[in-house]
Chain A
Amino acid sequence: MGTLSERILHGTAGEYVDRAIDRAYVHDGTGVLTLEAWKSMGEQRIQDASHIHILFDHIVPANNSTTATLQHELREFARSSFLHFSDVGGGICHQIMSEGIVLPGDVVVGADSHSCTLGAFGAFATGVGATDMAAIWMTGETWFRVPESTGMHLSGTFTGAAEAKDLALTYVSKLGMDGASYQSLEFIGEGTAALSMDDRLTLCNLAVETGAKAGMFYADDITVQYLATAGHTVKPQEPEPCRYIRELDFDLSDIAPVIAVPPRVDTVKPVHDLAGLPLDQVFVGTCTNGRYTDLARFARVVKGKNVAIRTIIVPASRAVLQEAIRTGVLASLIEAGCTIGTPGCGPCLGAHMGVLGEGEVCLSTANRNFKNRMGVGGEIFLSSVATAAASALEGEITEPEVT
């Protein structure tokens, strides 16, 4: 009996537990500090390399010789330590972990705040810092405070042009940037059955923007089918009676296209209220909305037309890019004037591949719009893929059409 977090962590909300880690991963950004901390801890022991992943995604390929040197050191370590390694071009760490690696019931930690994305599989997945991760490399376990959980009751289905991202921004707005601090968000109710794995990944991805430790779905038939294509046989997780500290209701048919206004993810307005705002750049990608279904949705809108402003599209992984090539989605995007980047995080963190200039405005499908994040003096508005596509064609914020 208990919430999904309580069942996976084997404890009661509020209790401190030590748990073995099923999957631990870092990227090229946090991996450098993790390696430094691990070397400083003395033993230089890896408890079990088969559970550890290093995935390059933040600045890929390297943007200058300093970055290249840091990546070289981490790459050499990865190869000599026999752990799982994904080099430049493989894609975003969370995405690769979602492509048949993380399974229901797993305890997953990533040295990145958006590691909560993987709760979509019915795993307990959360972000940690570099030094915590170094200790996990060494011992194979870490401590957790078992979180209290908010029940997020979903009902109905999306209507009009609304999509999972609009629901995600809506719930962040409702909860606020710290509205679920230290908690887990458990997405439950009959509305979950209509959500694809991609939708669930998007919804869990934004959990950290409310301060939550995790965002989670119970594994169901959709999860089972998705993982079967990756060669895994898993069972659904049956919800049990449990205690939520709070329950919130979301009727998917009430969700409308929205935009988060800089510099806060919880400042959310209807797209309608911002229509006509001039844009300099549209960015589609990231661990929030860089999956194949996102690229395909964007392509459906822009196919046969031309984008009015620079439009940067970064597939979340090599598999996403390959699928987009196979189905012709990539050709449609390029013919419409979009620029395609190397699979990875792209310009989301302001390091390369689409950094904003002073006074420039970007509409992005990512998850953060903090001050200066994509470049000093640039502003970031966050939206769904459908809103980004409609806006790219007009060069200004534009309401998506129902397709």
Chain B
Amino acid sequence: MQGKGRAVCIGADIDTDLVIAGRYLRTKDHSIWVAHVFEDLDPSLASRLNGAVIVAGKNFGCGSSREQAAIAIHEAGVVAVVAPSFARIFFRNAINVGLPLIECNLSCTQGSLVTFDLTEGWVEAEGKKYTTCPLSPRMQEILAAGGLVNYWRSGR
């Protein structure tokens, strides 16, 4: 599974309240989450996410278990999130909604091209190639199916 996108760099310990605030959760309308994604971190971010690779600091997605955070990032058009570490509930949620995550301490500047291959286990930016730890076989299957709903719909 390969992909590429322009880097949108953000900080460390980004909690899911910052990804999508509690005041937008009481709906089933995904477009509301997409419209307000990262609003309390940087209101200008939402418009820059389509086709992007988010390059974040450690412990991305900590805090609340709200799956709307992973859905909002995925449906805003983010290709993958790269971070040195992820909070574990967010990690499962992202894979379950079909959003690729790459555990890597990637160093790059805003707008750099980031390319990756999840199967081979590498990510590359600014001429430097990093080897990444592959997902568990089960998580790879779920991601390849496009998320856990499709994984079960396809009868696994």
Report which A residues bind B (CB closer than 8 A). Answer: 16, 29-30, 32-33, 36-37, 40-43, 59, 64, 66-67, 70, 111-113, 127-132, 134-135, 138, 143, 145, 177-178, 181-182, 211, 213, 264, 349-351, 368, 370-373, 376
Closest to B60 in A: A178
| Interchain nearest-CB distance for A33 vs B (Å) | 6
Bound-state Cα–Cα, A390 to B58, Å: 37
Segment with Cβ contacts to A, from B3-11, B88-96, B107-115, B122-130: B88-96
Closest to B94 in A: A129
B26 and A30 within 8 A (CB): no
Bound-state Cα–Cα, A41 to B18, Å: 29
Bound-state Cα–Cα, A129 to B99, Å: 14
| Complex interface: chain A residues within 8 A of B26 (CB) | 29, 59, 64, 66-67, 70, 351
B28 and A371 within 8 A (CB): no
B28 and A36 within 8 A (CB): yes
B92 and A373 within 8 A (CB): no
Please give 6 more A-B residue pairs, beta carbons under 8 A apart, in addition to A135-B152, A138-B152, A370-B18: A41-B149, A129-B89, A129-B93, A131-B67, A264-B13, A349-B64
Sorting the interface of chain B by its residue count into under 10, 10 to 19, 20 to 34 or 35 or more gives 35 or more
Of B13, B25, B65, the contact of A113 (CB 8 Å cutoff): B65
| B63 in contact (CB, < 8 A) | yes
| Complex interface: chain A residues within 8 A of B148 (CB) | 37, 131-132, 134-135
Bound-state Cα–Cα, A32 to B63, Å: 19
| B120 in contact (CB, < 8 A) | no
Report which B residues bind A (CB closer than 8 A). Answer: 13, 15, 17-18, 21-23, 25-28, 40, 58-59, 62-68, 70, 85, 87-89, 92-93, 96-97, 136, 138, 147-149, 152-153
| Complex interface: chain B residues within 8 A of A143 (CB) | 138
Cβ contacts A to B, 26 pairs, < 8 Å: A29-B26, A33-B67, A33-B68, A40-B149, A40-B153, A41-B152, A41-B153, A43-B152, A113-B65, A127-B89, A128-B89, A128-B92, A131-B97, A132-B148, A143-B138, A145-B136, A177-B59, A178-B13, A181-B87, A211-B62, A264-B13, A349-B64, A351-B22, A370-B15, A371-B17, A372-B17
| Interchain nearest-CB distance for B10 vs A (Å) | 14
Given contacts A138-B152, A178-B13, A371-B17, contact A30 B66 (CB under 8 A): yes
Bound-state Cα–Cα, A67 to B66, Å: 16
Closest to A70 in B: B26
Bound-state Cα–Cα, A64 to B152, Å: 35
| Complex interface: chain B residues within 8 A of A132 (CB) | 92-93, 96, 148
Bound-state Cα–Cα, A42 to B150, Å: 9
B96 and A350 within 8 A (CB): no
A211 and B66 within 8 A (CB): no
Bound-state Cα–Cα, A16 to B137, Å: 10
B27 and A66 within 8 A (CB): yes
Bound-state Cα–Cα, A33 to B87, Å: 20
Bound-state Cα–Cα, A131 to B98, Å: 11
| Interchain nearest-CB distance for B95 vs A (Å) | 9
| Interchain nearest-CB distance for A355 vs B (Å) | 9
Given contacts A66-B26, A351-B23, A351-B26, contact A178 B152 (CB under 8 A): no
| Interchain nearest-CB distance for B17 vs A (Å) | 4
Closest to B147 in A: A131
| Interchain nearest-CB distance for A265 vs B (Å) | 9
| Complex interface: chain B residues within 8 A of A351 (CB) | 22-23, 26
| Complex interface: chain A residues within 8 A of B70 (CB) | 129
Bound-state Cα–Cα, A60 to B86, Å: 31
Cβ-closest 5 pairs across A and B: A178-B59, A129-B93, A129-B67, A131-B96, A113-B65
B152 and A29 within 8 A (CB): no
Bound-state Cα–Cα, A151 to B45, Å: 41
Bound-state Cα–Cα, A132 to B136, Å: 16
| Interchain nearest-CB distance for A261 vs B (Å) | 15
Of A29, A40, A177, the contact of B25 (CB 8 Å cutoff): A29
Bound-state Cα–Cα, A269 to B27, Å: 38
| Interchain nearest-CB distance for A335 vs B (Å) | 33
Bound-state Cα–Cα, A181 to B67, Å: 19
